[in-house]
Every structure is written in structure tokens, then in C-alpha cells.
Amino acid sequence: MTLPKRLVRVRTPPIKCQGIKTKLVNFILGNIRWNMEGRWIEPFLGSGVVLFNADPPEAIASDINRHIISFYQLIQTGAITPEIVRKHLEVEGATLRQKGDQYYYEVRDRFNGEGNSLDLLFLNRACFNGVMRFNSKGEFNVPFGHKPDRFRKAYITKIANQVEWVALAMAKEKWIFRCCDWRETLKECKESDFVYLDPPYYGRHTDYFSSWSKSDLVELANACRALPCGFALSMWNKNIFRRDELLWKLLGDMPIRTFSHFYHVGSTESLRHAMEEALVIKPGFEVSTRS
């Protein structure tokens, strides 16, 4: 299997994050040219939707959000299985129907004290609009989504199937999941690798675990230029209000592909409008616009 490729069915992983790239998977994978002879490297894993749909033979996936990495590591080792997920959500969902928002906040407090990965999954699917957000103390702080009957049988089955899908992907491939800073991950890049980067969007107030500043984006852009391998970087290009001029200033001399879509996941209505996405690709690794 090589890139580019287009999937008839783009699948979604069990974890949701604001800015999840489900609608952009074919746009991303369809614009990258790579032989998959090295490792697919993602320093900003997030939900993992691009990784799992790319399905490379080898991968290094990292994120500074230790909870997401722990969740996928536990699936990879078999400590979390589809059946365990099903039983957990059946029990927690039944209690949520009985107690309502009171129980949601009980679980949130429990998770912030213990960091249980199954509680993270419950909160991620019961919270407001599927937002993944932590405060400065590292505590999950998204409010309840006001749906006590959220965990019906069909919904639980859907999540269990998503866990099964990612478990199968990990079982047959050489994938490594790490909790670390993006700088540490990029140090491992070799000429045969390909790096996909999906950092927090500067100027869009979409941080989910830590802040992201102008200086961070400048540093990342410079690091991309120094990579010995191919890379593609996702960033917002423009919306109805303004354009990301910094992106073009930093990487505008490289091939840039754009795609317009609508964000349904966001903490406020202002974050849920039409957005034009940009994909910056290292020269030589882009698919020709004539293709």
C-alpha cells in the first residue's frame, strides 16, 4: 500500500477531539505521495483518525496528552478490549440515566483523581459536543452534554466496534505510542519516514491540553524545513472572518492544498462555521494537481 489513496469508507476512532480530521482524511491521504517504506510519524496524535485510516506498516504516534496515549496503549496491550468497553459503558450509562448530570460530574471528579482510561472514554462521549479539553492543572473540565440517555445499546455497540477496529490495526502493525513533546518525536525522523503534523491551530482558540502560541508555530515550521524526510502539515487557511497570514509567511513557498468544510465539533457556536483547511506538503511529496 502506498499514498496517495482514497477510502470508500473513512472510519472514526473511539476518541473524539475538536478539530478531528474525519472529513479531511481523503483530502489529506489523497494529496500525499509516499511509498510507505519507512515509518509514519505523528507528533500530534489527537484522536488518531488520520493514522488509523492511513494504516501504515510502521508508525510512531505521540502526543503530550498522556490520557489519549494511555488509552491507545491499553488497547494495544489488550488491557482494554471491545467487551470491557461495552460492559463499562453499559454500567456507567445506566447510572447516568438514573442520576443525570450529578453522576457525570462524579465520574469527572473520579477521572481527574485517578486518570482511568475507561472513564475518559465515558466522559468524552457524554460531555458537551464531544470536546476534549483540560485546564491548566491537567483536569478534564468539559461540562455535561445534557443527554442522560446517551449510552443506548446501538451507541455502545458503535463505540465497541471502533475499539475493535483500532485494536486490529495495532495488532498487525509495528506501531509505537508515546507521551512526549513533538520536538522529541521529530528527533527520530529518518530519510525514509513521513511525518504528518496536526498541531493546535494558532489563533483559533482550539487548545485541548496546552496552549499554542505564535512562537510555537514558528519553531515548528523551522523544524519541518530541517526534516530529512517528507512531511505534511495541517493548518487552517481562512474562514469568513480572516485568513491565516502567518502560515503563508512561514511556509507559503511550499505546495499548499486547500479544502473547505464545516466544523460541527466546537465549544462555542463561533467555532462551528465554514473553514478552509490548508495542507502544506514538502516539495516532491505532493500529488500533482493534474492527477
DSSP code, position 243: B
DSSP code, position 288: P
| Position 13 pLDDT exceeds 80 | yes
Q: Give span(s): CATH 3.40.50.150, the chain.
A: 22-64+180-281
Taking residue 36's Cβ as centre, other Cβ atoms within 10 Å add up to 17
257/29 Cα distance (integer angstroms): 12
Grid look-up 500530534 returns 44
Q: Select from 103, 83, 82 the least CA-distant residue to 94.
A: 103
- As a whole number, the mean pLDDT across the chain is 91
| Position 188 pLDDT exceeds 90 | yes
What does CATH list as the number for 22-64+180-281?
A: 3.40.50.150
For residues 36-60, give the mean pLDDT: 97
46/64 Cα distance (integer angstroms): 9
Assigned C-alpha cell, 147: 443527554
| Position 222 pLDDT exceeds 90 | yes
Superfamily of domain 81-162: Adenine-specific Methyltransferase, Domain 2 (1.10.1020.10)
Quote the pLDDT of residue 115: 97
| Position 240 pLDDT exceeds 50 | yes
For residues 41-60, give the mean pLDDT: 97
DSSP H helical ranges for 226-282: 245-251
Q: Indicate the pairing of strand 274-281 with strand 256-262.
A: antiparallel
In 3-state terms, what secondary structure has residue 155?
helix
pLDDT digit string, tens, across residues 70-88: 999 999 999 999 999 999 9
- Percentage of residues in the chain with pLDDT exceeding 90? 79
Q: Give span(s): CATH 1.10.1020.10, the chain.
A: 81-162
DSSP code, position 96: H
Distances from the Cα of 116 to the Cαs of 12, 104, 140, 160, in angstroms? 22, 14, 12, 17
pLDDT digit string, tens, across residues 96-140: 999 999 999 999 999 999 999 999 999 999 999 888 999 989 999
| Position 291 pLDDT exceeds 90 | no
114/100 Cα distance (integer angstroms): 22
56/173 Cα distance (integer angstroms): 8
Quote the pLDDT of residue 241: 59
Quote the pLDDT of residue 269: 47
Q: Select from 68, 26, 24, 30 the least CA-distant residue to 46.
A: 68
Who has greater pLDDT, 276 or 253? 253
Quote the pLDDT of residue 46: 94
pLDDT digit string, tens, across residues 139-184: 999 999 999 999 999 999 999 999 999 999 998 779 999 999 999 9
